[in-house]
Amino acid sequence: MRTAAIVAALIASVCVPATAADVKIDRIAGVYKKQFRNGNISGDKYQSEDILEIVKVSPATAYVKTHLEFFNGHVCNIRGIADLEAGALTYHGPDNIEGKPCELSVKIVGGKVTLNDKEGHCAIGTCGNRGMYNGTAFELKRRRTIRYMDILLKSDDYKTALKEYDDKKKP
């Protein structure tokens, strides 16, 4: 009986439409993937995959990691602990190589989990020439449970993100 109630709650959380104002970490936590045909300047074609992982750390924080692929083999990679702020998960990363602050938000807009890189500062230093975070969206209905959670929680990326977040919060 308990299992049936849990399954029903999970199904309800995925099926209820969401707006940017009601981001709840439990509702969006999981892994999102989308595959697409890509190419390069030589005319070669290949398969690419964009990935977004969201892992609840606390009721108000989540680990966010994304790998995005672009034309000609360019990529964007970023990861960190994001805070729940004003209807979004917001990662305040280190200043980029130009000394400008990185602020990447994750919101639900029109049934999609969308990324917004405020003023494009996060992309500088974490993306190749053709890469950017703005405009990237994953359909909320494509959310999947992270089946490799044990590996993820032991990964250097996750441990480093937690340490950076803790260090940033210290006075």
**Per residue in 51-102, pLDDT tens?**
999 999 999 999 999 999 887 878 999 999 999 998 899 999 999 999 999 9
pTM: 0.83
Which has the higher per-residue pLDDT, 11 or 157?
A: 157
Look at residue 72 in the predicted model and tell me its pLDDT: 81
The rounded mean pLDDT for the chain is 87
- pLDDT of 38 above 70: yes
Pull the structure tokens for residue 36. Answer: 């697409």
Look at residue 22 in the predicted model and tell me its pLDDT: 52
- Residues 164, 81 contacting (CB under 8 angstroms): yes
Which has the higher per-residue pLDDT, 106 or 22?
A: 106
Look at residue 158 in the predicted model and tell me its pLDDT: 98
- pLDDT of 11 above 70: no
Look at residue 64 in the predicted model and tell me its pLDDT: 98
Alpha-carbon dihedral 56, 60, 61, 62, rounded to 10 degrees: 30
Rounded CA separation 63/153 (Å): 10
**Per residue in 122-158, pLDDT tens?**
999 999 988 999 989 999 999 999 999 999 999 999 9
- pLDDT of 13 above 50: no
SS3 29: coil
Which has the higher per-residue pLDDT, 6 or 81?
A: 81
Look at residue 20 in the predicted model and tell me its pLDDT: 40
- CA angle 146–151–154, rounded 5-degree value: 125
